[in-house]
Amino acid sequence: KAGVTQTPRYLIKTRGQQVTLSCSPISGHRSVSWYQQTPGQGLQFLFEYFSETQRNKGNFPGRFSGRQFSNSRSEMNVSTLELGDSALYLCASSWTGESDYGYTFGSGTRLTVV
Amino acid sequence: AQTVTQSQPEMSVQEAETVTLSCTYDTSESNYYLFWYKQPPSRQMILVIRQEAYKQQNATENRFSVNFQKAAKSFSLKISDSQLGDTAMYFCAFMNPMEYGNKLVFGAGTILRVKS
């Protein structure tokens, strides 16, 4: 069974640009969550999508947005990139998002902003 | 707001020995979930073990077990018979679905190095 797939694995962007990251959940999983991991702030929750609707949102500026498609694949977009957006972005999926089923994480996208 | 504290930034253990990683958390809720995740150099977060707060019995998964002390808000992870493959960053995480939805709150992590 395929795991959670995140693309691309690595990305280098310039300040002011925008970027889109992709996450394909495990087949049948309907909940997708996104996390940002940095050495200074650790792991922080960005948002969660379930059945194409944003169900929960973390404390990030509006430059960070996401969406989920009918096949449960999710994309995360960051506009007007800043140096501080350099991070590992992790996606996690689960059946319904309920903790009983657990979360499976992808290997992340390493974003570097220069 | 919920907080999760891991007081040991780094730990080392000899192969085949036992090591315990500490985690404390702060919440006013009585029903919640606790997790330990492992992140090896491959970057993928792997669920090691989970505990429901309403369950008195400590969770166990093969060589991994927890000591859940609800009153003390403590959730430590014990790794028995440590193996080289256990070398990784370990994160303690908290979830309170009723109040904050399905959002994991992570601690800062503990780097564990298993030495041969």
The string of DSSP letters for A46-98 reads EEEEETTEEEEE-S--TTEEEEE-TTS-EEEEE-S--GGG-EEEEEEEESSS-
Question: Is the pLDDT higher at A28 or at B13?
Answer: B13
Inter-chain residue contact B104 with A104, CB threshold 8 Å: no
A39 Cβ contact partners less than 8 Å away, ≥ 6 residues apart: none
DSSP notation for chain B? --EEE---SEEEEETT--EEE--EEE-S-SS-EEEEEEE-TT---EEEEEEETT--SPPEETTEEEEEETTTTEEEEEE-S--GGG-EEEEEEEE-HHHH-S--EE---EEEEEE-
- Provide the 10 A C-beta neighbour count for residue A22: 15
Least Cα distance to B78 among B31, B5, B23 occurs for: B23
What is the arithmetic mean of pLDDT over B59-73? 95
Residue A105, pLDDT > 70, answer yes
pLDDT tens string B94-116: 998 777 778 899 999 999 999 99
> Which pLDDT belongs to residue B28?
87
What is the arithmetic mean of pLDDT over B70-94? 97
Distance of CA B40 to the CA centre of its chain: 14
Chain A interface residues (partner B, CB cutoff 8 A): 3, 31, 33, 35, 42-43, 45, 48, 55-56, 58, 88, 90, 92, 94, 97-99, 102-108, 110
B89 at A interface, C-beta within 8 A: no
Q: Find the residue in A nearest to B50 (Cα).
A: A102
Supply angle C-alpha A17, B104, A43, rounded to 5.
45
Using a pLDDT cut of 70, give the percent of chain A over it.
Answer: 95
Q: Measured between alpha carbons, how far is B46 from B35 in angstroms, rounded to an integer?
A: 10
Measured between beta carbons, the chain B residues lying within 8 angstroms of A31 are: 102
What is the arithmetic mean of pLDDT over B3-16? 96
Q: Mean pLDDT score of chain B, rounded to an integer? A: 93
> Which pLDDT belongs to residue A99?
59
Inter-chain residue contact A42 with B50, CB threshold 8 Å: no
Residue A98, pLDDT > 70, answer no
